[in-house]
């Protein structure tokens, strides 16, 4: 295989790797062994214990250090004379601009999130540098090649959206454990420990205050002189008792649903002897966040155990107490972090008590952590295989061996006898707003919606732009950047709060907005269409973007072992909260949905399916003999089917 031509291509190549996690470690090793000599690697993450089972370049002693830097040092031990430049930085930093990307012959992605993938895709398109993209979940993985003008770009096909849930499902009518987790994490935890001014759909009015209308007292307010113990029980009784009673009083809701059961703390845990097992202080020494633990003080050991309602209640009260007594300084600034032991304990307990109320099966801390933290399942072997496939494609790209480019799927169950299935890449999608210039349409109420709504919900969230610039004709409505004058900053800030039709250059039905990201060198036009009414549940954004496609969200069940890493978060209108998975692996394996994409059933079935056994679904692939070498054949995909490209996730 190591032909002269190939060796020359490898030795002379300048490669950019994005991501030094699960795939990244394997990739850097395989690149170095294969003879690559000039490798730049970007990763903003630091090493965590849960990385060590597969990110083999890292050791326990490296925990907390930069992945990119430690990976470099580890590889130089067996290949000392090659050039590896690490960047402990976010690939979205402005330093990594189009000119930076132009310095490379090929870019190799080993990323863990959609945002960064889209960003790199755009920079590669703008810089004209080929991209080899990859991802794994459990035993499933894929490698794809994106060369501008030759093959589709990473965004030519819709990506599954993180699953979001209607507000009322989370606040009033949970039917699955995941709903309880979202409630515990995004509502209760955020309300108690997050920033005070956040929007939150939890009812804060207590029974006594409900009559005195405007001047309501927020039960969540912890007064300085208030006993911690009492405060904990007050919160408990409010959210699991009173709020449930309140919900029950709305008879309509329960016509076709089973009625929840209010739970009061005194019924679960008698008031006087609150658990004090004397175990306090026997905390594990692993690090700051895990040193305070309700499980430890209550003597609960195994994170895989199911706790009873009583145990959950004890954990909840204990965790709340520990937050208030040991970590009071952080309160008001906390956001849920799956590596924060106490936070996971709190959310597990709260989700389970709520589940208990609604007759939903309880889950262990281990499982709850997986759901709440959007933890992606990962094993070393799949990453190693995928990294090998990336290098094989990278070498083809460097040799400009266009006709042999392949997308390859790593499957859990063989399909047509294949575990590794190569497929010819698709042509660019002519209506892709990223790699071709197709205008989008935005239906919006121009008399109600503010520019801020458009920036947050559309330009950033949907179009994935970081530093957007918005123009109407030749007048600038909005811009971000370091080089703005003070008065410009003030004008844009003011514009953000204005309703579209009242902007200096008003935006109405028929207006065409130009939205641009200078760093990504991506520009697109949005035709504005005025519309008065939107369905709160189905169109929670209060606006609808079309011409931009997103695959149906992946419905998650509550079982951690079947999740694929797509987000479970997003209770309120703020839909999808950024995922918090720590490392390498992706959340987008089933990229292949939509027209002529039956193969999605292969990669997708396994990855997205909540039932592992259904992953064996036979893909509908027809073979077309091709005289390449003897009578070998090439896998072709079936054409012309578009069943699932635009279906929206069921709310």
Residues with catalytic annotation? 168
Using CB under 8 A, which of the segments 84-92, 193-201, 413-421, 436-444 binds other proteins? 413-421
Is 588 marked as a binding-site residue? no
Distances (CA, A) of 179 to 200, 348, 384, 553, 577: 16, 12, 35, 15, 15
Burial class (CB in 10 A: 0-12, 13-18, 19+), 487: exposed
Stretch that binds other proteins, among 163-171, 172-180, 376-384, 567-575 (CB under 8 A): 376-384
Residue 640 among known ligand-binding residues = no
Among 202, 272, 279, which residue's Cα sits nearest to residue 238?
Answer: 202
Strand partners, 313: none
Rounded Cα gap, residues 137 and 121, in angstroms: 21
Strand-pairing partners, residue 588, are none
Q: Evaluate whether 63 touches 49 at the Cβ level (below 8 Å).
A: yes
Question: What is the spatial distance between Cα 416 and Cα 492, in angstroms, rounded to a whole number?
Answer: 57
- Alpha-carbon distance of 138 to 277, in angstroms, equals 39
Residue 512 in the binding site for other proteins (CB under 8 A): no
* Cα separation, 471 vs 505, whole angstroms: 9
- Footprint of other proteins on 443-502 (CB under 8 A): none
Total of chain residues touching other proteins, rule CB under 8 A = 70
Binding status of residue 617 toward other proteins by CB under 8 A = no
Is 110 annotated to bind a ligand? Reply is no
Sign of the four-CA dihedral 63, 65, 66, 71: negative
> 180 a known binding residue?
no
Confirm or reject binding of residue 352 to other proteins (CB under 8 A): no
402 scored as a contact of other proteins (CB under 8 A): no
Are 296 and 283 in contact by the 8 Å Cβ rule? The answer is yes
* Among the listed residues 244, 389, 469, 515, the single contact to other proteins using CB under 8 A: 389
Residue 410 vs 528, nearer CB to other proteins? 410
Answer yes or no whether residue 291 interacts with other proteins by CB under 8 A: no
Sign of CA dihedral 177, 178, 179, 182: positive
The two structure tokens encoding residue 455: 């920036």
**Which secondary-structure segment (H or E) carries 240?**
none
Tell me the per-residue interface mask from 80 to 99 with other proteins, x by CB under 8 A, - otherwise.
x-------------------
Residue among 5, 8, 59, 537 that touches other proteins (CB under 8 A) = 59
- Binding to other proteins (CB under 8 A): which residues in 106-125? none
| Residue 288 makes contact with other proteins by CB under 8 A | no
Stretch that binds other proteins, among 111-119, 188-196, 416-424, 519-527 (CB under 8 A): 416-424
Q: Do 364 and 301 touch, CB atoms closer than 8 A?
A: no
Interaction with other proteins in 12-41: which residues (CB under 8 A)?
Answer: 26, 29-30, 32-34
Shortest reach from residue 383's CB to other proteins, in Å? 8
If binding is defined by CB under 8 A, does position 5 make contact with other proteins? no
d(CA 457, CA 201): 19
State the Cα–Cα distance between residues 189 and 320, nearest whole angstrom: 10
432 is in an annotated binding site: yes
CB of 569 to other proteins, least distance (A): 18
Residue 426 near other proteins by CB under 8 A? no
* Candidates 75-83, 273-281, 346-354, 505-513; binding stretch for other proteins (CB under 8 A): 75-83
Q: Which of residues 297-336 bind other proteins (CB under 8 A)?
A: 301-304
Q: Known binding site: residues? A: 19-24, 43, 51-54, 67, 112-117, 153, 156, 432, 435
């Amino acid at each position: 295989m190591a032909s002269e031509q190939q060796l020359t291509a490898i030795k002379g190549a300048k490669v950019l790797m994005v991501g030094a996690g699960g795939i990244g470690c394997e990739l850097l090793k395989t690149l170095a062994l294969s003879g690559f000599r000039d490798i730049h690697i970007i990763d903003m993450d630091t090493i965590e214990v849960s990385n060590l089972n597969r990110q083999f370049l890292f050791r326990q002693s490296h925990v907390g250090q930069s992945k990119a830097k430690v990976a470099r040092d580890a590889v130089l031990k067996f290949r000392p004379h090659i050039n590896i430049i690490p960047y402990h930085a976010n690939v979205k930093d402005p330093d990594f601009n189009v000119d930076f990307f132009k310095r490379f012959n090929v870019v190799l992605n080993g990323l863990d999130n959609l945002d960064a993938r889209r960003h790199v895709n755009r920079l590669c398109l703008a810089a004209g540098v080929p991209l080899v993209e990859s991802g794994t979940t459990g035993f499933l993985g894929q490698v794809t090649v994106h060369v501008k003008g030759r093959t589709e770009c990473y965004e030519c096909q819709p990506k599954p959206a993180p699953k979001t849930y209607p507000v009322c499902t989370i606040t009033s009518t949970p039917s699955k454990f995941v709903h309880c987790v979202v409630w515990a994490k995004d509502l209760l935890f955020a309300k108690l420990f997050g920033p005070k001014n956040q929007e939150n759909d939890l009812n804060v009015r207590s029974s006594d205050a409900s009559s005195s209308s405007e001047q309501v007292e927020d039960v969540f307010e912890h007064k300085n002189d208030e006993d911690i113990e009492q405060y904990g029980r007050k919160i408990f009784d409010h959210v699991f008792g009173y709020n449930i009673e309140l919900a029950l009083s709305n008879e309509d809701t329960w016509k076709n649903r089973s009625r929840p059961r209010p739970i009061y703390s005194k019924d679960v845990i008698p008031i006087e002897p609150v658990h004090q097992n004397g175990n306090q202080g026997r905390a594990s020494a692993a690090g700051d966040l895990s040193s305070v633990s309700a499980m430890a003080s209550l003597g609960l050991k195994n994170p895989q155990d199911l706790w009873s309602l009583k145990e959950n209640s004890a954990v909840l009260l204990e965790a709340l107490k520990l937050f208030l007594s040991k970590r009071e300084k952080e309160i008001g600034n906390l956001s849920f972090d799956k590596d924060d032991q106490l936070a996971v304990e709190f959310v597990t307990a709260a989700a389970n008590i709520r589940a208990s109320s609604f007759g939903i099966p309880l889950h262990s801390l281990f499982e709850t952590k997986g759901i709440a933290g959007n933890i992606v399942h990962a094993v070393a072997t799949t990453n190693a295989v995928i990294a090998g496939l990336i290098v094989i494609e990278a070498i083809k790209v460097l040799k400009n061996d266009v006709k042999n480019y392949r997308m390859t799927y790593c499957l859990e169950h063989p399909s047509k006898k294949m575990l590794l299935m190569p497929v010819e890449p698709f042509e660019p999608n002519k209506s892709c707003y990223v790699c071709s210039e197709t205008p989008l349409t935005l239906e919006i109420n121009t008399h109600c919606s503010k520019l801020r709504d458009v920036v947050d919900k559309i330009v950033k969230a949907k179009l994935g732009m970081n530093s957007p610039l918005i123009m109407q004709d030749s007048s600038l409505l909005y811009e971000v950047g370091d080089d703005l004058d003070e008065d410009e900053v003030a004008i844009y800030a003011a514009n953000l709060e204005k309703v579209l039709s009242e902007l200096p250059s008003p935006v109405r039905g028929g207006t065409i907005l130009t939205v641009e990201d200078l760093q990504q060198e991506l520009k697109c036009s949005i035709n504005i269409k005025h519309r008065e009414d939107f369905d709160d549940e189905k169109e929670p954004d209060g606006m609808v973007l079309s011409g931009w496609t997103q695959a149906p969200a992946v419905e998650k069940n509550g079982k951690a072992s079947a999740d694929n890493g797509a987000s479970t978060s997003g209770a309120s209108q703020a839909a999808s909260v950024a995922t918090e998975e720590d490392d390498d692996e992706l959340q987008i394996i089933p990229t292949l949905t939509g027209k002529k994409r039956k193969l999605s059933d292969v990669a997708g079935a396994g990855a997205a399916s909540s039932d592992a056994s259904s992953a064996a679904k036979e893909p509908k692939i027809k073979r077309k003999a091709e005289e390449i070498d003897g009578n070998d054949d090439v896998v072709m995909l079936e054409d012309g089917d578009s069943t699932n490209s635009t279906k929206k996730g069921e709310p």
